Amino acid sequence: MKNLKTLMAALVVTTGLIFTSCDDNDNEMDGQGSVRVEATDAAVDAQNISGVYLSVEEVQVIANGEVKNTITFDQPEEFNLMAYQNGQTKLLGEATVDAGTYDEIRLMLTSNAQAWVEFTDNTTQEIKVPSGSSSGYKIMGDFEVLANGMSEVVLDVDLRKALVKKGNGEFNLRPTARLVSKAEAGSIQGNVDMSDYSDADKVVVYAYLKGTYDDSEAGEPADGSSRFEGSINSAVATSTGNFTLAFMPEGEYEIVVAEYDEETLSNETNFEAATKVQVEIGGELMSVFNVEARTTLNLLIDIF
C-alpha cells in the first residue's frame, strides 16, 4: 500500500485550437448557428468485454424539453463506444439550430436492437436502456450556439459508470453521461511510473472536483451503481503508464489512483487499493490543481 504519491506537473497552454467561431456583434444571439455532435468514452472495468455497441437512428438537439433539430441517418448508425477513448471521438453529425442556449442531447435508439455488449469470446448480450425505445438515451448539459457560429459538443458516455451489471446478470445503460462543450473544456495528459505499481494488473486514474472525493467511494458499490461514482472522468494507464483525461470542464480537481488485479480464468477485474495523490507544480506541493479551457495539463505520477 503506497501512502504518498505525487504528481509533478507542468501547465502547457494548447494554442491554435478554435472550437467556436462567431460574428462579434450585438446580434450574435439572433439568427442561426450550427452544432457538431461527437461521442466518446472511458474504459469499462470488466476484463472480458470487447465492445459496447449503440444503434442510433436519430440525434435530437433539445432546449427546455423541446426538440429544436435532429441529425438523421439513411440507416441506423451502429458503433462501438469502446473504440473512442483517450480523447478520440465518434462524429455523429451536425445540425443547424436557432442561436441560443441548449441543455440536452438525446440519442434515439433503434427499437429492435438498441444496445449490446460483445464479449471476448464473440458472444453478445443485450443492454437495457430505460425508456430507450420512447425517449431515447438522454445526455444533459448546457451549451450555447451563436449566430453564424459552430459549437462543438462531446457526449462523454463513460461506460465505467453508465454500464452496470445488476445482480440478476442484466446490463443496464444508466443516464450518467455528461455533455461537454469543447470550447469550455481542457485536458490532462500524463504518465504513471508503473514501477510503483508493479503488483497491479491495471492502474486507473480518476479525476474529482475539489473536495468531492471520500474514502467511501472506494467501497463495494451498491447493486446497479459503480465504484468511484463521483468522479468526473477516468482513464486506464497503458502498459507504459500513459493516460489521457479528455474533455475536462474548467474547475479545480484532485486525483485518485486505483490499482486492480485481473483474474484470467474467471475474466474478472478486482479492485485492490486507491490513493488520493498530491500535485507538484513549480516546486510547490498541492492536493488540488486547476484545469482551464483550451489547456493541457501534463502530469507525472510517481512516488515522492
- Stretch (H or E) spanning 49: strand 49-63
Task: List all residues 6 or more positions away from 79 whose beta carbon is below 8 Å from its beta carbon.
Answer: 39, 53, 54, 56, 90
Rounded to an integer, what is the distance from CA 126 to the centroid of its chain? 22
C-alpha distances (whole Å) from 85 to each of 46, 107, 217, 246, 266 are: 16, 19, 23, 9, 25
Each residue's pLDDT tens digit, 96-120: 999 999 999 999 999 877 899 999 8
Each residue's pLDDT tens digit, 31-76: 999 999 999 997 666 668 899 999 999 999 999 999 999 999 999 9
251 compared with 264, residue with greater pLDDT: 251
- Residue 165's pLDDT band (boundaries 50, 70, 90)? confident
Q: Give the three cell numbers for residue 191.
A: 504518465
Tally the C-alpha atoms within 13 A of residue 104's C-alpha that lie toward its C-beta. 17
* Angle 134-139-142 from CA coordinates, rounded to 5°: 130
For residue 10, pLDDT over 50 is answered with no
pLDDT, residue 224, reads 81
For residue 300, pLDDT over 90 is answered with no
3-class secondary structure, 81: helix
Range ranked top by mean pLDDT from 2-16, 42-56, 162-176: 162-176
Handedness of CA 109, 113, 116, 122 (dihedral sign): negative
3-class secondary structure, 199: coil
- Stretch (H or E) spanning 162: helix 159-162
pLDDT, residue 22, reads 42
Share of the chain above pLDDT 70, in %: 86
C-alpha 5/C-alpha 282 separation (Å) is: 17
Average pLDDT, the chain: 86
Arithmetic mean of pLDDT, 274-286? 78
